[in-house]
Each structure stands twice: as structure tokens, then as C-alpha cells.
Chains A and B, each alone.
Chain A
Amino acid sequence: MSKLLLKLESINKNFAGRPVIENVSLSLQQGEITTLIGPNGAGKSTLAKIILGLIKPDSGSRVASSAVRIGYMPQKVTIDPTLPISTVRFLQLANVSQQACHDALESMSISHLATTPIQNLSGGEHQRVLLARAILRKPNLLVLDEPVQGVDVKGQNALYKMINGLATSLNCAVLMVSHDLHLVMSATDHVICLNRHICCQGHPEQITQDPAFIDIFGQTTAVYSHHHDHDHNLHGEVLDETIHSHGADCHHD
């Protein structure tokens, strides 16, 4: 069953007069994994925050279903070292029971870190704790901003597997932000290539046959390839407007 959870229509956002999001529309359905890819400065995190309701767009509308419960995994949480706080206490801030916190740690296979000060965690452990907090409130929409940031390749694979499992077990919509143009999960249902505007979007392709690729990334990830019908200059502006039309007629090799 697919249910519309959240919808953006013609969103525009400027920062200090500079456009960061231009005319973006998208919808997030229950049970669907959407990946937002694009270069640095493409406005991915800004768009994610508009979806979360943290940033108000200058124009356009954000319509959320009344049933939507959002779980958010920020890029990074920086906690001052002077604040003494354990991992399990960090999870309890989400206002859930102690048992729920331990269950979430368990499902991320990090129960042994419950009493560790959160500032002492490694990159991979840190990301798992953030993911645990995101799922604590049993969300039906997960927004993950660069979930594998600061994690080594092996750990990235494990994290992607976990996210995939979560999407299934929680039956939730997932919006994942990644700056990596080549590496996205094969299980992604929908890929949006963003560079301030939506360059193109569609289903990712299964290209997992290359032995070298499998050797490095394993079977679970795929190269997403699409035909880019236009180029960008260094400022992200579209170079040849005539051959490019946004979104609708993008096609994949």
C-alpha cells in the first residue's frame, strides 16, 4: 500500500539573495526510498530541512499528511565536550521509554555503547546512534542527511543494509541525502538529482555486474547512472538552456 505522506510544490528558497532551491516539487510515499543526490552546495540539506519543516520556503507549499511522524538523522551532531551525556541518555531525549532506547540500540547492534559518553564514539558508532534516535519514535517518514558520512567503506555498506532493513520493517518512506553521484543503494526506488533545481529524476539502474565494483562495494549497492542532458558551470548554472528541460523528459542509459 502506498500512501502520500508529504508533498512539496514549487518550492523556492533564497539565502541572502542567492537562490538555493528553485521551483522544486516532490512527493514522498509510504514504503518508498527516495535518494537526493547532487554536488556540494546543491541545496540538498536545505531541501531536506524544508521537508522537515525546519526552514520555511520563500514560496511554494509544503503539505504534510496528518498521519506523518518524522524521524530525522542530521549530518552530524556536535555536542560540547563539557556536557556529560551517555549514549542512552542521548536517546532518551527523544522522550521515549528506557526500554525503547535499549531496543533501538539493540537493533543497531550497539548495546555495548549505552553508557559510553557520546563524544567518545567513532564515526561509524556515532552514525548508528543518530540512526537509532531517528527510529525511536516509530516514524513513517525517515529523513537521513548523509547517513554514511565519516564512515569507512565497509561500515557504509553495513549502514546502507541497516537503512534498507528499517525501511521494510517500519514500512516507512525514506528520504536520503547523499553527495555521492555514483554510489546509491540498489533498493532506492526513486533518485532525484538536485542542483538547486531538479536536474532529473527516476528509477536507478542495476549495474552491479562489474567485478571490480562488486569487489569494493559488495552486492547491495549499485551505480546509478543517468544521461545528463545539460552541463553546469562552476556556479551550478545550466550552461545550455535550450537542450534542457527540467525533470520531465530526463532519460536513463
Chain B
Amino acid sequence: MTDFLLYALLAGLGVALVAGPLGCFVVWRRMAYFGDTLAHSALLGVSLGVLLDINLNITIIAIPLTMAIGLVFLEQRGFLALDTLLGILSHSALAAGLVVISLLPDVRVDLLSLLFGDLLAVTKSDLWMIYTVAAAVMALLGLLWKQLINITVDPELAAVEGTNVTMVSTALMLITALVIALAMKVVGVLLITALLIIPAATARRISHTPEHMAIAASLIAMLTVVMGLAMSWNLDTPAGPSVVISASFLFCLSLTYRRQLS
């Protein structure tokens, strides 16, 4: 096995590990569109980073976070429905990202790899970054797990019982921005939400507790990375979309599983 394939596999598995539990929260809290918005603004983060010559790892996380905070602010004004607001921000960010990239003096950005991921170009330093951030995300999720479940079930009940809802939901936003920055490498900005929600939705069909679902989603996401890379290697298809297509395939399989049960 060649080095680049091993790196691709390790990178994919690292991202899949954290995409599982976070994807569950995205599904439970109906944040799919929110994830899209952050992903699209990550593209803007890349183009601004290149334009202003700032470290991309910083802008990829900072711009989505700024977007998330702006979103909370606008939502509290309450003059537009949340999905309309998300639609405006999400597509404005995507468009702005594309425009800024086109304005760059010489093309130093591979647009296709940003949009659809470039798993096969992962380097050793990327791997370090992925596993460091993944470890931080897992630690945060583990630390806040009970409170995260609590505010997902009912934020007011949680608040009355003493949970700091603002702190915990801000932490979840930070975690989401971190995971999206990671997942960008694997599947690109356009398919990040798919990597989050499809394994979680698949896991739902075989789970009876939140923890089972989170673990199952992780394992399913890892399996889809292996399947997607195998497909990419054998059929010479792009890696990111191959991973997502594998996830969709497993989801369809899970539909038949439920039918056999009942």
C-alpha cells in the first residue's frame, strides 16, 4: 500500500471518528442547514486567508465561528425565520468565497479540492492536525456529553436544573466549527453535512440510547471512509463523493434492516 493511500485512510478515519457523535447532535437538534452554513463560510475562510495571507487553519475556524455568532445575534432579533436566515448567510458565504477566490492575483487555490475534498493529497502534517483536533473534540464531547444531551432534550428544563445552557451551546458551536474545518479535507465544503448526518441517520435505526447511536454513527462513518477509498482506488472516482455515496448506500441498507425487524 502506498503512503498517500495510508495517509488518506488515517485522515478519513480520524474525521469519521468525530463526525459520528457530532452528526448525531446535528440530526437531533435539526442543525443540518446550520452545518451547511458553517461549511460554506469555511470556504470563505480559505479564500480570505489566502487573500490576506493569514494561516488557513485559523481562518477556516474563525470565519465559521464569526458566522455562527452573527447567526445567533440575528436570530434573537427574530425578524426572519431561521431557515430563511440560514439560507441567506449560507449562500452569501459560498458566493463571497467563490468571488474572493476569483479575485486572487494568481490562482493558488484548487477550487475543486475545496468543494469536494482532496483526501488523497493529505500530508503527514495534516494528519497531525486532524488527530490533535479530533482528540480535543472527543475530550470536549466527553466532558460535556451529559449537558449536551440535556440541552438537546429541553434547554429550559436543563437551565432550571442548573445547566449553563449558553456555555454548553456555545461549546457545541465551537465543536461544530472545528469538525467542519477537519471534514473539509475529506469531503469538501459541499458534502460535509452529508458526512455528518448520513451515518447518524443510519445509526438511528439500530440504536436505543444516545450513546449507542453516537458510537454506531462513528463506526458507520469509518466504514464508509474505507468503502469510499476502496471505490476511489478501484474505479478512479473522486474520494470525497465516493465516501458520501458509500454512506448513502449503507443508509439504504439500514432501511431494509428495519423492515426485517418488524
Residues of A at under 8 Å CB distance from B?
16, 49, 52-54, 70, 72, 74, 77, 79-80, 82-86, 89-90, 93-95, 133, 137
B260 at interface by CB-CB < 8 Å: no
Whether A85 and B153, one on each chain, are in contact in the complex, defined by CB atoms closer than 8 angstroms, is: yes
Closest to A130 in B: B157
Enumerate chain A residues within 8 angstroms of B153, measured Cβ to Cβ. 77, 79, 83, 85, 90, 93
Residues of B at under 8 Å CB distance from A?
27-30, 78, 146, 149-150, 152-154, 156-161, 200-201, 204, 207-210, 212-213
Closest to A136 in B: B161
Instruction: Give the Cβ gap from A133 to chain B, nearest Cβ, in Å.
Output: 7
With contacts A16-B78, A82-B27 known, is A72 near B156, CB below 8 A?
Answer: yes
Enumerate chain B residues within 8 angstroms of A72, measured Cβ to Cβ. 156-157, 160-161
With contacts A77-B154, A133-B157 known, is A82 near B149, CB below 8 A?
Answer: no
Whether B209 and A80, one on each chain, are in contact in the complex, defined by CB atoms closer than 8 angstroms, is: no
A53 to B158, CA, bound (A): 12
Whether A93 and B29, one on each chain, are in contact in the complex, defined by CB atoms closer than 8 angstroms, is: no
Partner of B28, one of A53, A82, A137: A82
Enumerate chain B residues within 8 angstroms of A85, measured Cβ to Cβ. 149, 153, 209-210
With contacts A70-B160, A79-B153 known, is A89 near B27, CB below 8 A?
Answer: no
Enumerate chain B residues within 8 angstroms of A54, measured Cβ to Cβ. 156, 159-160
With contacts A77-B153, A84-B212 known, is A93 near B158, CB below 8 A?
Answer: yes
Instruction: Give the Cβ gap from A48 to chain B, nearest Cβ, in Å.
Output: 10
A212 to B206, CA, bound (A): 52
Enumerate chain B residues within 8 angstroms of A70, measured Cβ to Cβ. 160
A49 to B160, CA, bound (A): 10
Enumerate chain B residues within 8 angstroms of A86, measured Cβ to Cβ. 208-209
Whether A52 and B160, one on each chain, are in contact in the complex, defined by CB atoms closer than 8 angstroms, is: yes
Closest to A73 in B: B157
Whether B156 and A83, one on each chain, are in contact in the complex, defined by CB atoms closer than 8 angstroms, is: no
Whether B161 and A84, one on each chain, are in contact in the complex, defined by CB atoms closer than 8 angstroms, is: no
With contacts A16-B78, A77-B157, A93-B158 known, is A84 near B201, CB below 8 A?
Answer: no
Chain A-chain B contacts (Cβ-Cβ < 8 Å), number: 62
Enumerate chain A residues within 8 angstroms of B150, measured Cβ to Cβ. 93
Q: Is the interface of B mostly helix, strand, loop or mixed?
A: helix
Closest to A52 in B: B160
Enumerate chain A residues within 8 angstroms of B152, measured Cβ to Cβ. 83
Enumerate chain A residues within 8 angstroms of B210, measured Cβ to Cβ. 83-85, 89
Instruction: Give the Cβ gap from A204 to chain B, nearest Cβ, in Å.
Output: 27
State the 6 A-B residue pairs at the shortest beta-carbon distance, nearest first. A72-B160, A83-B28, A77-B154, A93-B150, A82-B27, A84-B207
Enumerate chain B residues within 8 angstroms of A77, measured Cβ to Cβ. 153-154, 157
Enumerate chain B residues within 8 angstroms of A16, measured Cβ to Cβ. 78
Whether B161 and A137, one on each chain, are in contact in the complex, defined by CB atoms closer than 8 angstroms, is: yes
Most buried by A among B149, B161, B212: B161
Whether A74 and B154, one on each chain, are in contact in the complex, defined by CB atoms closer than 8 angstroms, is: yes
A54 to B155, CA, bound (A): 10
A160 to B201, CA, bound (A): 40
Most buried by B among A72, A83, A89: A83
Sample 23 A-B pairs with CB under 8 A, ordered by A number.
A16-B78, A53-B159, A54-B156, A72-B160, A72-B161, A74-B154, A74-B157, A77-B153, A79-B153, A80-B29, A82-B27, A82-B200, A82-B201, A83-B153, A83-B210, A84-B210, A85-B153, A86-B208, A93-B146, A93-B149, A93-B153, A95-B161, A133-B157
Enumerate chain A residues within 8 angstroms of B78, measured Cβ to Cβ. 16
A225 to B153, CA, bound (A): 39
Enumerate chain A residues within 8 angstroms of B213, measured Cβ to Cβ. 84
Closest to B204 in A: A82
Instruction: Give the Cβ gap from A15 to chain B, nearest Cβ, in Å.
Output: 9
Instruction: Give the Cβ gap from A172 to chain B, nearest Cβ, in Å.
Output: 14
Enumerate chain B residues within 8 angstroms of A79, measured Cβ to Cβ. 153-154
Enumerate chain A residues within 8 angstroms of B200, measured Cβ to Cβ. 82
Closest to A55 in B: B156
A127 to B129, CA, bound (A): 48
A94 to B201, CA, bound (A): 27
Enumerate chain A residues within 8 angstroms of B209, measured Cβ to Cβ. 84-86, 89
Closest to B78 in A: A16
Instruction: Give the Cβ gap from B149 to chain A, nearest Cβ, in Å.
Output: 7
Enumerate chain B residues within 8 angstroms of A74, measured Cβ to Cβ. 154, 156-157
A49 to B157, CA, bound (A): 11
Closest to A118 in B: B153
A137 to B163, CA, bound (A): 14
Closest to B162 in A: A95
Enumerate chain A residues within 8 angstroms of B160, measured Cβ to Cβ. 52-54, 70, 72
A106 to B53, CA, bound (A): 64
Whether A80 and B30, one on each chain, are in contact in the complex, defined by CB atoms closer than 8 angstroms, is: yes
